[in-house]
Every structure is written in C-alpha cells, then in structure tokens.
Amino acid sequence: MLGRSWATLDGRDMIQYATTFSELVGFSATNDPHGTILGWWRRVDRAVDDFYAAQSKRRPGRIADVERDLVASPDLGEEGMMLFRQLRLERNRVAHRNVGSLTRQDAVVFAQQAHRLGWAIGAGIKLSDLQALPVDDSAV
C-alpha cells in the first residue's frame, strides 16, 4: 500500500502519496506510463541545469555541446553520455510521435535509468557506482 491513505465514500482506501521510489514509480508507471517517462526526463533535464550551475556555466543551447560536457565529466564519461542520449531520444519519441500504448515496464525501466543518471549528473556520483532502484510489483 502506498503511503498514507484516505477512505473513499464506499469505504475503500484512496492513495494520497507515495513514500518510496518503488511506490511512486510503480503507481505512476501503471496508471500513466507516458507521464512517467516525461516526468522522469524532466528530472534528468533539471539535473543537467544543476550540473552547469555547479560549474558557474551557462547551459549550452546545442545538445551536442551538452553531450560533449557530460562525456568529459569523470563521473559520467561515455556511459553517462550514452545513457543521456538514449533517454533523451526515448523521451522525444514519447513526446512527439504517436507511440500508442506504452507498457508499465517501459516506464519503470525509463524511471530507473533516469533516476540513476539524475543522481550521477546532479550529485556528482560516479554512474558506475549507482544501481537502478528496484520497483516492486506489489507496490501498486
């Protein structure tokens, strides 16, 4: 069960908020896989903003320049830049193309990788030291 709950008029529990990554992603990926992907991309994008702010630099307008800077980071390197590119392309596909139905698993995997990459970029942690957090099916 997710976080704190309230009773509905018919006596069933209504979820108010999640308290763990597993609960949040499990619930959102089940109910809104498109929104989950778009939301987790936004977190990565904000981490990139923080990456530049920490260096007192302006964020480049060209994505190739962002990728160049990410690959040069000792915490990210080629693996981090490639994951950034993969997630960005998937986000763009979801946002701008008719992708039809996405599965819960599509959204879960995206969120796990975006969470991992966001921490590496925003907190300066080596990507290779970060594991994807598990999402429990029973959290839904």
Name the burial class of residue 25, with classes exposed (0-12), middle (13-18) and buried (19+) by CB atoms within 10 angstroms of its CB.
buried
In a domain, 6, yes or no: no
In a domain, 50, yes or no: yes
53 falls in which pLDDT band (50, 70, 90)? Answer: very high
In a domain, 125, yes or no: yes
4 falls in which pLDDT band (50, 70, 90)? Answer: low
Take residue 100 and report the two structure tokens written for it: 């039809």
Q: How many domains does the chain have?
A: 1
Residue 9 has pLDDT above 80, yes or no: no
Task: Give the model's pLDDT for residue 18.
Answer: 82
In a domain, 94, yes or no: yes
pTM for this entry: 0.86
Task: Summarize pLDDT for 73-124 with one digit per residue, the tens.
Answer: 999 999 999 999 999 999 999 999 998 889 999 999 999 999 999 999 999 8
Task: Give the model's pLDDT for residue 7.
Answer: 67
Range of the domain at 135: 22-139
Task: Summarize pLDDT for 41-50 with one digit per residue, the tens.
Answer: 999 999 999 9
In a domain, 10, yes or no: no
In a domain, 13, yes or no: no
- Asked whether the beta carbons of 52 and 34 are under 8 A apart, the reply is no
